[in-house]
């Protein structure tokens, strides 16, 4: 059913989890839910607390880019986490969230997949962006914030992004209830996070992730500081690195952050 309202009460009503999103902060208009969640983190807010906004005036994307979305169109949320592990583990949580969004789409009957490392794509176009930030003091994590922007009911895509981005509505012709979308994401995330915490890596999520990996068995072009090479991707390992086999049989583990990976024939 399409949504009538999207606010703190309707979100709390929709979410059936143990800890993820049991505390919800909702704003009609905020600078950025990531910034808000970081402020909440500094003030001592609990693990699993969620910041959600209908509109962001200074939404942040990766690489210092802006992230904008019209009112009513998207789920823009950031979850605050207080994990007890080394800071170098935290970037893998971006992959955990990417997997959760892809699984949430699947639960809603939408065939989504993942472009490594964490872009969730439908019909070869991105429907979700994820930005993870953390605060570290004296080598220990204070808090981690994972922000996700999901294009739900967006009815048009700016010209310059039209070959790269889409929304659930544009792909299916259906309007979605954002409370339900958010609830599915949090339910999947909570389950995946619990599994992640058992090994503090992606080992127990590998099968689910690789099953949804759009790049699996596909030719990819890797661009890193050493140059460009091509190969066939065959999944990720427990650290989230993309495994690529070059034509000469050499196998390479590609770390996220160091490189850019593109399909040879499209964005995916």
Residues near ligand BTN, by CB under 6 A: 32-34, 56, 59-62, 65, 67, 76, 78, 129-131, 147-149
Helix axes 178-199 and 92-107, enclosed angle (nearest 10): 140
- Measured from the CB atom, is 14 or 131 closer to ligand BTN? 131
Q: In the complex with ligand BTN, which residue's Cβ is closer, 152 or 231? A: 152
From 156, 214, 179, 155, select the one nearest 7 (Cα to Cα): 179
- Least distance from ligand BTN to the Cβ atom of residue 75, Å: 8
> Considering the complex, what minimum distance in angstroms separates the CB of residue 203 from ligand BTN?
26
Least distance (Å) between residue 100 CB and ligand BTN: 14
Pick the closer one to ligand BTN by CB: 176 or 231.
176
Token pair in block for residue 45: 């807010």
Instruction: Between 130 and 181, name the residue whose CB sits nearer to ligand BTN.
Output: 130
Cβ 107 to ligand BTN, closest distance in Å?
21
Report how far residue 74's alpha carbon sits from residue 205's, in angstroms, rounded to the nearest whole number. Answer: 27
64 CB-near residues (< 8 Å, 6+ apart): none
- Smallest distance, ligand BTN to C-beta of residue 210, A: 22
Q: Dihedrals φ, ψ of 2, to 5°?
A: -65, 155
Nearer CB in complex with ligand BTN: 167/231: 167
Quote helix, strand, coil % in the chain, to nearest 5: 30, 30, 40
Nearest to ligand BTN of 56, 210 (CB atom): 56
Peptide bond before residue 117 is cis, with ω within 30 degrees of 0: yes
Q: How far is the CB of 139 from ligand BTN (least distance, A)?
A: 26
**How many Cα atoms occupy the beta-carbon half-sphere of 257 within 13 Å?**
12
Nearest approach in angstroms of CB 90 to ligand BTN is 16
Phi first, then psi, for residue 175 (nearest 5°) are -90, 135
CA angle (62, 65, 70) in 5-degree steps: 105
Is 127 or 236 the residue whose CB approaches ligand BTN more closely?
127
Picking from 242, 262, 193, 184, the residue whose alpha carbon sits closest to that of residue 47 is 193
């Amino acid at each position: 059913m399409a949504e009538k309202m999207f606010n703190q009460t309707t979100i709390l009503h929709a979410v059936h989890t143990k800890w993820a999103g049991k505390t919800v902060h909702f704003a009609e208009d905020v600078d950025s839910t990531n910034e808000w969640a970081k402020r909440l983190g500094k003030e001592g807010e609990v693990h699993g607390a969620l910041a959600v906004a209908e509109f962001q005036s200074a939404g942040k994307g990766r690489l210092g880019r802006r992230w904008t979305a019209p009112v009513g169109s998207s789920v823009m949320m950031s979850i605050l986490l207080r994990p007890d592990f080394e800071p170098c583990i935290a970037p893998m949580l971006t992959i955990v969230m990417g997997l959760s969004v892809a699984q949430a789409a699947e639960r809603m009957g939408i065939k989504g997949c993942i472009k490594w490392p964490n872009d969730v794509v439908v019909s070869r176009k991105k429907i979700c962006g994820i930005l993870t930030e953390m605060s570290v003091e004296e080598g220990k994590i204070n808090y981690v914030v994972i922000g996700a922007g999901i294009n739900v009911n967006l009815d048009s895509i700016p010209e310059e992004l039209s070959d790269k981005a889409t929304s659930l509505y544009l792909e299916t012709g259906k309007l979605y209830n954002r409370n339900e979308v958010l609830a599915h994401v949090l339910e999947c995330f909570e389950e995946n996070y619990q599994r992640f915490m058992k090994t503090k890596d992606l080992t127990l999520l590998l099968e689910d992730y690789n099953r949804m990996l759009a790049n699996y068995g596909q030719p990819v072009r890797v661009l890193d500081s050493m140059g460009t090479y091509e190969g066939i991707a065959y999944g990720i390992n427990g650290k989230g690195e993309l495994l690529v086999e070059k034509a000469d049989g050499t196998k390479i583990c590609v770390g996220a952050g160091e490189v850019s990976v593109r399909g040879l024939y499209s964005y995916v």
